[in-house]
Structure 1
């Protein structure tokens, strides 16, 4: 059944107009009054609903039964990434959302090609959030990962130094441990926070700063992976 993100309070029996993005999606799919659809608002679970009216630019629905469906992983995994360039960040956001990432933190780092500030940074963040929403609509996820404001690595590390999460930095430096080994030693429900670099990885100074902030250096093996591949490979291991 078609699924649509509807970030408003939902209750059985309520009749409402869908937010503009969801309404456009319903119209593009050419739904008609009487059609059954699924809505989710990100609070968990999903709602069955019925299309009541199709306007030129609006869609009215009736919210029917709630389904307590959860498809989220047991372990919350958060991902902070030095932004890869071009469409690779879009691809990374989409696939991370499909896999079940809890949040995404885009970062400027020394080797970052993509540089975003001000209004352009906000537009990119909004775009990536919409990519995450679309991925959840497609894959069945009922909790949309938050794409956080674009940040600077040094400032972000100061804020990330505290917290209960298992903090790991993907590193090729000497002394890095296999990620699988580190994960096996941690409780299965302990949150994980990954830091991954852009093309070219983190600089030696950034790697050292992450370690000083309490991040454990981990490796995915002897191969050198692309920035977006490495982040997703770490995510898959943590969610397995």
Structure 2
């Protein structure tokens, strides 16, 4: 049986006994139904992992004995920041989960003209909390020991206007560039994925003003969630650690 990997939101600084967080305790005690004497592995976002043994397990509280930490770096050399216009239903959750498995470091949900999702502030806060939990679960599953940040929702233009040194890419069906024609080396990418209806002409022009490079993935029109994962995979193959 595979040893469960559990995220601990506070830095583990030395061996000893600790209480798992409420979310972790619920997963270990209620979902996995683990009991005293069983082992698990903790990670705290520091790129270290810690072997731990359960010494007390209930439905709401789990206490473990933690050993020495060891560094396990599974991060890609390519820094990827995904700007994803919010998609409907479970598509956004799917994109967040799979993009983290593929090595994305930061995700910013975006609002654009054709974004089909409209949420008030309270519901948006709940969504952000849910999306960050999905990020944690994806790391627990795929073996990453640093948890990517899901940032607060921004407008498309505000995100495009942020200053950094990354290569800025925008998927466009009529682009003349492809990922294979991008010059090497590239160590950081800011990748924009539009909504299901695509960006408007005005938004495409705006991205050009902020020096985004239009790229084409191929001859077929992909759904927004397929586009994100295809582009991330292609970037990791060319500049990162896939393939």
**Counterpart contact for 2:81–2:191, Cα < 8 Å:** yes
Q: 2:92 aligns with which of 80, 89, 92?
A: 89
- 1:100 maps to 103
Task: Find the aligned partners of 2:176 and 2:21 in 1 and give their Cα distance.
Answer: 47
Deviation at 1:158, TM superposition (A): 2.0
- 2:37 maps to 34
Task: Find the aligned partners of 1:45 and 1:13 in 2 and give their Cα distance.
Answer: 13
Task: Find the aligned partners of 2:208 and 2:184 in 1 and give their Cα distance.
Answer: 18
Deviation at 1:11, TM superposition (A): 2.9
- What does the per-residue CA deviation read over 1:193-224, in whole Å, with 9 as the maximum and x for residues that have no partner? 10010101111111110111011111101111
**Counterpart contact for 1:49–1:65, Cα < 8 Å:** no
- 2:173 maps to 172
**Counterpart contact for 1:172–1:219, Cα < 8 Å:** yes
In the superposition, relative to structure 1, how do residues 168 and 53 fare at CA in structure 2: closer, same or farther (>3 Å)?
same
1:143 is the counterpart of 2:164: no
**Counterpart contact for 1:84–1:198, Cα < 8 Å:** yes
- 1:219 maps to 216
SS at match of 1:105: strand
Deviation at 1:67, TM superposition (A): 1.9
- 1:24 maps to 26
Q: Give unmatched runs, 5+ long, in structure 2.
A: 238-243
TM-score scaled to structure 2, two decimals? 0.93
- 2:193 maps to 196
1:210 is the counterpart of 2:238: no
Number of aligned residues:
234
SS at match of 1:167: strand
Q: Give unmatched runs, 5+ long, in structure 1.
A: none
Deviation at 1:150, TM superposition (A): 1.0
1:112 is the counterpart of 2:110: no
- 1:14 maps to 16
